[in-house]
Amino acid sequence: MEISTLATYHCLAFVWYFFVAYSITHIKTEEPPSELFLYGGQWKYLTVLNLVLQAVFYGVSFLADVLRLIKKLRCAKCIISSRDLLFSVLAFPVSTFVSISFWTLYTYNRELVYPKSLDGVIPLWLNHAMHTAVFPFALLEILALPHRYPTKKKGLILLGFVAFLYISWVLWIYSVTGEWVYPLFALFSPSGLAAFFAGSLAIVVSCYNFGEFLNRMIWGQSKFS
């Protein structure tokens, strides 16, 4: 894909994610459901954090494209390295995990992850923008251009560290409010919850490996030194 075309695509994707993130963080309602606005606000939801992550990624990607267009290749090389690391370790695995896990749980019992009361608060298009469109966007990014993946050890350590930070955030919110971020968590014993988190981490790692596999199959393997 031509650099100018990539720049246009990444700019539009950045604007889209910025708009979606803005929309979900500025929802106005006269009677907001309490489970949506407890301690931490929308920032306790992985879905919302993923929107910010995607906006940052596409913003960095657009910057890299612009630097290449104006022939600032030395600066572009550094930004491209950051772009590829961000995509491989976080942007693709997290967006894939969000889409798969949400719709799996929604199909099983939506009250565990997205109570029906939210239908009157969050428009249908916004729900799909947050939970459905993120996966096709991630796939399109892989098809659009190659991304250099780090060594497997480095990639998984970084991914595991971010997962640890989010789990710690979820547990902190529970310790402060006595309420779980997602109603699903209240069904588990402490050991069951630990197993659930471990299983979720395994799925995220699988998403990472899936992205690496697709990138290698389409473009060949290129690792950071």
**CA gap 168, 145 in Å, rounded:** 34
On whether residue 224 sits in a domain, the answer given is no
**CA gap 125, 61 in Å, rounded:** 25
Q: Which range marks the domain in which residue 165 is found?
A: 3-25+34-219
**CA gap 144, 138 in Å, rounded:** 10
Query: Is the dihedral angle over the CA atoms 141, 57, 165, 190 positive or is it negative?
Result: negative
Average pLDDT over residues 81-98: 96
Residues 6 or more apart in contact with residue 135 via CB below 8 angstroms: 95, 96, 99, 100
On whether residue 71 sits in a domain, the answer given is yes
**What confidence score (pLDDT) does residue 17 get?**
97
On whether residue 215 sits in a domain, the answer given is yes
Alpha helices in the chain (DSSP H): 3-25, 46-69, 73-86, 92-109, 124-131, 134-144, 152-177, 190-219
Q: Which of 19-33, 57-71, 101-115, 178-192 has the lowest mean pLDDT?
A: 19-33
Work out how many domains the chain is built from and give that number: 1
On whether residue 182 sits in a domain, the answer given is yes
pLDDT tens-digit series, residues 95-139: 999 999 999 999 999 988 888 888 888 899 999 999 999 999 999
**Residue 36 pLDDT > 70:** no
**CA gap 115, 54 in Å, rounded:** 25
Contact of 92 with 208, CB cutoff 8 Å: yes
Average pLDDT over residues 3-7: 91
User: Which amino acid appears at position 13 of this protein?
Assistant: A
First to last CA, the chain: 25
**What confidence score (pLDDT) does residue 225 get?**
35
pLDDT bucket at 224, cuts 50 / 70 / 90: very low
**CA gap 26, 6 in Å, rounded:** 30
**Residue 34 pLDDT > 80:** no
SS3 161: helix
Average pLDDT over residues 83-91: 96
pLDDT tens-digit series, residues 48-65: 999 999 999 999 999 999
**Residue 30 pLDDT > 80:** no
**CA gap 55, 20 in Å, rounded:** 9
On whether residue 225 sits in a domain, the answer given is no
Dihedral of the alpha carbons of 143, 147, 152, 158, in degrees to the nearest 10: -110
pLDDT bucket at 21, cuts 50 / 70 / 90: very high
**CA gap 103, 200 in Å, rounded:** 14
**What confidence score (pLDDT) does residue 134 get?**
97
